[in-house]
Amino acid sequence: MKFRSSNVFRFGFSMVIAAGIFLSIAGFKGILHADENTYKSLKLFTDVLEELEKNYVDDVNTEELIHNAIKGMVGNLDPHSSFMPPEAFDELQDDTKGEFSGIGIVITMKDGILTVVSPIEGTPAYKAGIQAGDIIIRIDDKSTKDMALWEAVNMMRGPKHKTVLITIIRQDEPASIEYSLQRDLIPMESVRSVMLEPGYGYLRITNFRMSTLDDIKENLEKLESQNKGLKGLVMDLRDNPGGLLDQAVKISDLFLAQGDIVSIKGRQERNTQVFKAYASDDDRKYPVVVLINGGSASASEIVAGALQDHSRALILGTTSFGKGSVQTVRPLKDGFGIKYTIARYYTPNGRSIQAKGIEPDIEVKYEILEEKEKKTSTFDRMVREKDLKNSLKPETTIQPEKVKKQPKKHQRLLDTDQLQHDAQVKRALDILISYGVFSKLNGS
């Protein structure tokens, strides 16, 4: 299947949405093959429209009424189907390429409520402390009640350095919280990596865009070339809202040699397909721990589910978001567009994670581990060999390495010290190191 802009499966939570089909009134009466109930409903629609045109207290904009009807028709199907006016459809292209100016959050409509899926790492929203699951009730001085998703996106995007006021409510917080955020360019960088300890790499994937596969290959090659190869890898998919299906499939294939990766099943046969893994020359047999949380959605869940079902990786963290549906995007006449659900996807073992999510093999909640202050205890005051008079000094047989100049830290580089205090990352690293120790004990 070719992935074209007019018919591409998108698993990310686009930050521009509102969907439907453009139907002309003249077409209503020209339907020859509609069943009787459908025809009656369409006739009712035209009757209501005609009544409003003739007798409503003010003049009505017929085109606007029809567009609102289409928006309601498609929007009520599910949270991810939407009718897009030209301005929203044009901005859809920003979701998988380039950069834009905004506050840096991925949002969706959950039960008709504007909800944060995840903040984008390194952005104003992320730095301010906006969290997955936050409910946005106001943008500047406008309520988000009955606001279309694309309208909310347009209000939060804007000129760089201009301020927008976001009011949210959060579970377990007694009052609403206001954030005054200064818009900035939202980077589309999706992959970063660092060596946590010699032989143990960390790979952070923030979304799945057109260049993500190539970026991951480049980062993996860099990690694998150090310290005689990798002994283990921590793949961080936390707060990753998803993106393109083909990228999720190809990235899963980097770690699998055979078997299914994901299957999609729709009402139409053309929307049913199985994506498989194929053997490659790259030898990536080192153990992998994948980190997920409630902000890991869609394409992230495909990767985590595939590696979990094939016992290729251990999944650690908290249950993922649970978006198991497939959308397609199609352009309509006059610049309008429609995004609607065509299928559900399933993990290799046939699990549908729709509204369920991927459950971790080991549940570890996020927290920052504080450094404990060193306290002098009775045992610390006990005499040791080095304290004895005339004790032999340790013999130095290894020449000290020359001190290398450390490169200046870039704001987008990963902070190894900070990662070491991340409870989930620390637990993942401990598991990988323990696995290596026990493998040696077992002679494998």
| Cα 12 from Cα 300, distance rounded (Å) | 9
Strand ranges in 19-147 using DSSP code E only, listed in sequence order: 82-84, 100-102, 105-110, 113-119, 135-139, 142-143
| Torsion angle in degrees (nearest 10) through CA of 289, 290, 291, 293 | -140
- Residues classed as catalytic: 298, 309, 323
Beta strands 135-139; 142-143: pairing state: antiparallel
Neighbours of 177 (CB within 10 A): 14
Q: Which two tokens stand for residue 374?
A: 């060193």
Report the alpha-carbon angle 392-397-401, nearest 5. Answer: 125
Evaluate whether 412 touches 122 at the Cβ level (below 8 Å): yes
| Cα 151 from Cα 92, distance rounded (Å) | 13
Q: For residue 290, give the DSSP letter.
A: E
Secondary element (H or E) of residue 270: none
Q: Which two tokens stand for residue 81?
A: 């189907």
